[in-house]
Amino acid sequence: MTDVDTDSNAKAYSVSELAFALKRTLEDAYGFVRLRAELSKVTHHSNGHVYLTLKDERAAIDGVVWKGSVRNLSVRPEQGLEVIVTGKITTYPAGSRYQIVIETMEAAGVGALLAQLERLKVKLQAEGLFETSAKRPLPAMPAVVGVITSPTGAVIRDILHRIRDRWPCRVIVWPVVVQGETAAAQVGNAIARFNALEPGGPVPRPDIIIVARGGGSVEDLWAFNDETLARTVFAGTIPLISAVGHETDTTLIDFVSDRRAPTPTAAAEMATPVLAELRAGIADLSARLHRGGGRAVEDRRGRVENAGRALARVPDLVEMAAQRFNLAASRLGAGLSRNVAAHHTALVRVSSRLSPGLLLRPQDVRADRLGRLAIRLRPAMDRGLERAGERLVSLGKLYASVNPDAPLKRGFARVERPDGSLVREGGSLASGEGVRLVFADQTREATIDGTPSAAPPTPKPARPARSPTIPPAQGDLF
């Protein structure tokens, strides 16, 4: 048997068969592995998957985190982060590559967590989330305080006790878990829901928010280093105090919040004033106001008294006025006598020039003028009356010549239509048309070329001719 015949007895695999056989072998042998490595080439795909590379100083392996497992990761995959992952080894048959499908991921140590936190701080600071100008001032006297913390434990008791002693007001507690994978989401949701409350609604809107938690390790406080939580704090409109951990503990929301408190008790003191101190301050201000008012009144009283010393006394002013009045009164009688004497002298001087002839001379002048006017007025009036009479006679003759009733007395008749219009031509009358014949003594009805009309109407009495009236001659005015 030749070599060719021997080789022909071995089974021939297809490429796909070999690739999937290797895939099953790796998945069966390495169905669960735990790796410690450094992340590199981290890519967050738009479909939600995360592709990355796990490496150490001598080797590297590709890894993938499917979309459904991303939310279960303890840390966010970032370039250079040292992590411990668990998953299974599988292959990618289309490229003949093997990779690890990651199911869990956690930081390899505190140093890795702090390095990740430092990179996140640099990123948020570059975006302006830590700027002092973005910090909101705390209200001086809040009416409602919102507290986001665990409903059990010493933290909430310390805050409520401190607020009750300092500034009795309404406190609304939003219970959340403050440790673990869901802590960041619950705290962020509580902050967003507090900010979404409308003023005057059924649930009062807080004037200030306190996020509080007791002390713990870096891993215990890691939920408050979440990037989404930090952005939620920055986007809120209600002033927020961060009181997470002890005085030496620092989390990411401490840099974004409006004020950081070293302890939850200190946060309660920052959020509320001391009622007793306010009352004492008001009493002190009231006393200072009264003292200042008293000093102002005394100062003005002294000014008035000093100004009064420079003024004359009232009796002196009255005595001087009375003296001037008495002097004027003593001179008044003599002055009136002298005034009467002066007027009497002037009257005597003028009366010597007065006589009745001065009054009669103007009357004689006016009478003479009136006589001359009467002599000239009589002929003018006679001529005017004569002309008026002549004009009246001529008007009477003219009236008699144009009087339409004058021809009727000589046997003529006037033809009129029923409407009273005068018929001037016979051709204008139609056959059968009724007309009215006006005679000197009466009026008769007629029909043109036809039978006579019904009984004639009662004749109208003839109107007597008017004779011109000559007014009587006017008598002599003189």
- Higher-pLDDT residue of 410, 419: 419
Sheet holding 414-416, edge to edge: 414-416, 434-438, 443-447
pLDDT band at 370 (very low <50, low <70, confident <90, very high): confident
Residues 161 and 91 in one domain: no
Residues 255 and 147 in one domain: yes
In-domain check, residue 95: yes
User: Rounded to an integer, what distance in angstroms lies between the CA atom of residue 19 and that of residue 10?
Assistant: 18
pLDDT band at 76 (very low <50, low <70, confident <90, very high): confident
Would you say 183 and 223 are in contact if contact means Cβ atoms under 8 Å apart? yes
In-domain check, residue 56: yes
Taking 70 as the threshold, does the pLDDT of residue 109 lie above it? no
Q: State residue 112's pLDDT score.
A: 64
Would you say 50 and 70 are in contact if contact means Cβ atoms under 8 Å apart? yes
Residues 152 and 263 in one domain: yes
Q: Of 273, 292, 320, which residue is a domain's last?
A: 273
In-domain check, residue 246: yes
User: Rounded to an integer, what distance in angstroms lies between the CA atom of residue 266 and that of residue 243?
Assistant: 8
CATH code of the domain covering residue 37: 2.40.50.140
In-domain check, residue 114: no
Residues 167 and 254 in one domain: yes
Closest CA to 424 of 404, 443, 402, 444: 404
Taking 50 as the threshold, does the pLDDT of residue 454 lie above it? no
Q: Please give the backbone phi and psi of residue 111, each rounded to the nearest 5 degrees, phi first.
A: -60, -40
In-domain check, residue 379: no
Number of domains in the chain: 3
User: Rounded to an integer, what distance in angstroms lies between the CA atom of residue 58 and that of residue 61?
Assistant: 11
133-180: pLDDT as tens digits: 999 999 999 999 999 999 988 899 999 999 999 998 999 999 999 988
Residues 155 and 269 in one domain: yes
Residues 103 and 23 in one domain: yes
Residues 66 and 186 in one domain: no
Quickly count: other Cβ atoms within 10 Å of residue 83's Cβ: 25
Would you say 135 and 260 are in contact if contact means Cβ atoms under 8 Å apart? no
In-domain check, residue 341: no
CATH code of the domain covering residue 235: 3.40.50.261
Parent domain of 71? 15-109
59-73: pLDDT as tens digits: 889 999 999 888 888
Q: Of 55, 88, 109, which residue is a domain's last?
A: 109
Residues 105 and 25 in one domain: yes
Q: State residue 4's pLDDT score.
A: 46
In-domain check, residue 89: yes
User: Rounded to an integer, what distance in angstroms lies between the CA atom of residue 176 and that of residue 157?
Assistant: 15
pLDDT (mean) for 198-213: 94
Q: Which amino acid is at 19?
A: A
320-348: pLDDT as tens digits: 788 888 888 888 888 888 899 899 888 88
The chain-wide mean pLDDT, for the chain, equals 84
User: Rounded to an integer, what distance in angstroms lies between the CA atom of residue 249 and that of residue 224?
Assistant: 11
Residues 147 and 101 in one domain: no
Taking 70 as the threshold, does the pLDDT of residue 464 lie above it? no
Taking 50 as the threshold, does the pLDDT of residue 470 lie above it? no
Query: Which residues have CB under 8 Å from 53's CB, separation 6+?
Result: 39, 40, 41, 60, 61, 62, 63
Please give the biggest Cα pair distance in the chain.
Answer: 197
Query: Which residues have CB under 8 Å from 474's CB, separation 6+?
Result: 381, 385
pLDDT (mean) for 24-34: 86
Residues 157 and 101 in one domain: no
Q: State residue 455's pLDDT score.
A: 44
Residues 80 and 182 in one domain: no
Residues 59 and 147 in one domain: no
In-domain check, residue 313: no
DSSP for residue 168:
-
Q: Of 229, 255, 273, which residue is a domain's last?
A: 273
